[in-house]
A and B are shown apart, each in its own frame.
Chain A
Amino acid sequence: MAGAAAPAPAGAGAEPVLELSGVKKRFGGVVALNGVSFSLRPSEVHALVGENGAGKSTLIKILCGIIQRDAGEITLDGGTYDPHTPGDAKKAGIQVVHQEFNLLPYLSVAENICFEDMPRKAFGMVDYPTLYAKARKALDAIGLGDVDVRRPVESLGVAHRQLVEIARALMGESRILILDEPTATLTARETERLFQIIAALKAKGVAVVFVSHHLNEVFSICDRVTVLRNGESVMTADIAATTTDQLVTNMVGRQLAAAMAAARDLDTSGRTALSLRNLRHPASPHAEGVSFDLHYGEILGIAGLVGSGRTELLRSIFAADLPLSGTIERDGQPRHYRNPKQAIRDGIGFVTEDRKEEGLILGMAIAANVTLASLRKVSRLGLLDKREETRLTRALGGEIKLKYGDTADAVSTLSGGNQQKVVLAKWLANNPKILLLDEPTRGVDVGAKAEIYALLRGLSEKGLALLIVSSELPELITLSDRILVMSKHRIAGEVVRADFSEERILNFAYKDERNHGHH
């Protein structure tokens, strides 16, 4: 296997097995892909990188037949490739390991692995001995010798589930394997194992599309890289001929790079708006919880890995989940919010991570969404004043540069960035003093992203206290005055602006994991 990883520019010069040109896809008013060109050679590992919302997931869904493209050419081995169902893609030899789990939790590991092609006996009965043997072989091949194939999938941890998913994808004789964020839930050791598997596949002539946010992984195992931005492919290069800086600049675009450069000098001298002492979310294993102070006029960033308790922290402040223990002080006064309503009355707003599930009422009008948290302002004696509602919506819409047709349009007709602005407007309508923001630019295009950054800076200059959770470190580094790094539901460290660097933050974020690794 060691020898397999070595061969240089894999498949260089060979005819591409898969080729895309000018692929476009639109969902209602939202352009998801606006001309993607991409080619995949046999025996190469090709990285697909780009920010959230750049179009990676859409592209993968088109390749595996979940959705169909609106325009553009896709050829597979020189012939037109136009899958209408995931079955078509599998028949053509394209396998995908999706970011979200597609496992059947109550069935056994073996049944999951062989689900697409169950070994049978007479009368359609399942041939269990063969089933278990096949699954055993598949798990051993990816180094999961210690997992019992009879166990139900729900009893496995996330990392193991991800590996089972990969084992399932490898069951089919695929020529093209697409891995969508395969390492997101893996530890370092498992990631290493996965890379060996990829190298072995490559040696067998399989072409791999590798989607990842982690550029260091891209540089360690990929042969070529394609960058997507705003639904377009903006660059393709040999890994050897590019640099991290080049990739990042292409990912975020010049406009955002400029917005980031405009980082300001800060001021954390404001009065304390919110003070947490030992606040513990029910999901937190640690009694000491989280403690920190948030000041007026300050932007406090919260970094950390997925699952480190960042969202839970915001939810327990807002009483979306009631904290187990600990205290909250607002302007120096103790508070015990029993529900979001009380937190809102006390001047707090919460821009949630998932705007479709928690932030917006998609089927309802823009105006109805904007006033959802401030209906008292646009009503008298319980009667809605729709004229006032429209006025307020237009005024806020202008302030935040919302692009819309009519305030009565359903919010679902807006693009991701504009939807996110509606969520912001909903809270701004209430004149909050403190704004909690969870992934404020997820799924937002680059233009809107820069506008949201400017908006958030403006709010903090007006004296609002902002607490921002983000998985994008450049975003936190750009916006924050201070960054707290969370790990396993605790504050693992604090970094002040003068010391901001991705390495420092990541060191804190991985602190616990590394300690565990040494046991």
Chain B
Amino acid sequence: MDTTDLTTAQAGSKTIATTTKTVLREAGIGIALIALIIVFSFTPHFLSSSNVTNILTQVTINLVLSIGMTFVILIGGIDLSVGSVLSFCAVVAGTVMTLPGLDPAVAVFLATISAIVAGIGFGLLNGLISAWWAIPSFIVTLGTLNIARGAALQVTNASTIYSFPAAFNAFGSQTFYGIPLLFLIALVLVAIGWFVLTKTVFGRVLYGIGNNEEAARLAGHNVFFYKVAAFTICGVLVGIGAIIYMARLNIASPIIGIGFELNAIAAVIIGGTSLSGGRGSIVGTLLGACIIGVLANGLILLGLSDFMRQMITGFVIILAVILDKYRERLTKA
């Protein structure tokens, strides 16, 4: 039949186009990042090694949270609680770390474990409630945002915890050839996230559910498990994020992490992940987090006020989504 042959021929020529477009997606975000770096490199100190270290340090925590957020958003959810939960994890870990009579190494180890366990706890709570009662995760995590913040204030009686072991503080400021050790840890987490999402059955099904939950369920996949798992993974990364925060700033306080969830969501969205789920990548998220970091740093070097910076960052988020609409149209045509 003529019509079917025609369709086949078109499908063939489309293959190359489709693949190119997929690559272009991420490449586009990469090009935006490079363009931004080139523009800012005209300011005097931008490319100095101390400033690069500075940028990478600032990117690190947002990057770690964004990895977890990518999993949640890919499955069609959102986690507004990460900033508060980070604060709760930090005060729990801080309390454990400053327990009297503990060997410093043991204290740091136990603190790390407890931060991650606390993160898992809130992740499970978010996932179980939203999956079991089919409540939008926006609402559930709005609730846990308040619960975690209140719990952090309650546990510490609203006071800040400090004076951690010296070795822990030193670890937080360690660099390799100007690259902060903490950033390298974040990169390892990016690599793990990328591997899980692209190379494993788990990742494949996660994308599937994000795209079409009912089709995935009817193909025999346990949607409940995957939803809970995505929020739990996010919780693990929040726990790790809390330890990184403490290592960098040497404090744990119930008022840290305010607004972190919004930065993480922004990084994921700028990185090209669709808020409705099923489309996006960890590499995009890495680039998105870097764009936010570079932008913040560069605008400071340009001498812009905090207020101006906030406005510009806001515009960039909206611009990223508008550009994504055009990319979507390109892919569909």
Q: Which residues of A contact B (CB under 8 A)?
A: 28-31, 34, 230, 318, 320, 339-341, 343-345, 350, 352, 357-364, 368, 372-373, 375-376, 379, 382-384, 403-406, 408-410, 413-415, 418, 426, 445, 447-448
Contacts and interface: CB of A to CB of B under 8 A. Distances in A.
A360 B4 CA distance: 21
B311 interface: no
A410 B215 CA distance: 16
A364 B211 contact: yes
B309 interface: no
Nearest to A34: B3
Interface residues of B, number: 37
Interface string B210-250: 01101111111110000000000000000000000000000
A375 B205 contact: yes
6 contacts: A29-B11, A339-B222, A359-B218, A364-B207, A382-B202, A403-B4
B218 A364 contact: no
B211 A408 contact: no
Contacts of B12: 405-406
Given A31-B7, A375-B201, A447-B1, A361 B215 contact: yes
Nearest to B10: A29
Contact of A406 (B6, B15, B208): B15
Contacts of B211: 361-364
Contact of A409 (B18, B219, B221): B18
Contacts of B214: 357-358
Contacts of B204: 368, 375, 384
B201 A372 contact: no
B200 interface: yes
A410 B18 CA distance: 8
Residue with the greatest number of chain A CB neighbours at <10 A, chosen from B204, B207, B215 = B215
B8 interface: yes
Contact of A415 (B7, B212, B216): B7
B207 A413 contact: no
B215 A414 contact: no
Interface of B: 1, 3-4, 6-8, 10-15, 18-19, 199-202, 204-205, 207-208, 211-212, 214-222, 278-279, 332-333
A215 B217 CA distance: 39
B1 A409 contact: no
A403 B215 contact: no
B215 A340 contact: no
A445 B3 contact: yes
Given A29-B11, A415-B7, A318 B218 contact: yes
Contacts of B15: 405-406, 408-409
A449 to B, nearest CB: 12
Nearest to A414: B11
Given A363-B278, A375-B204, A382-B202, A31 B220 contact: no
A29 B215 contact: no
A383 B200 contact: yes
Contacts of B218: 318, 320, 340, 350, 352, 358-359
A384 B200 contact: yes
B4 A340 contact: no
Contacts of B207: 361, 364, 368
Given A363-B211, A404-B11, A383 B199 contact: yes
A373 B219 contact: yes
Given A358-B215, A361-B216, A31 B18 contact: no
B14 A341 contact: no
Contacts of B279: 363
B201 A384 contact: yes
Contact of B208 (A372, A379, A447): A372
Contacts of B216: 361, 372
A34 B1 CA distance: 14
Given A364-B208, A383-B201, 13 more contacts: A318-B218, A358-B212, A358-B215, A358-B218, A361-B216, A361-B278, A373-B220, A382-B200, A384-B199, A405-B8, A408-B19, A415-B7, A448-B4
Nearest to A351: B218
A340 B217 contact: yes
B98 to A, nearest CB: 39
A418 B5 CA distance: 12
Contacts of A368: 204, 207-208
Contacts of A341: 220-222
A344 B202 CA distance: 19
A408 B279 CA distance: 15
Contacts of B8: 403-405
B201 A360 contact: no
Contacts of B3: 31, 34, 230, 445, 447
A344 B215 contact: no
A363 B10 CA distance: 18
A29 B201 contact: no
Contacts of B205: 375
A124 B221 CA distance: 53
A426 B3 CA distance: 25
B7 A372 contact: no
A372 B201 CA distance: 10
A361 B217 contact: no
Nearest to A447: B1
B201 A362 contact: no
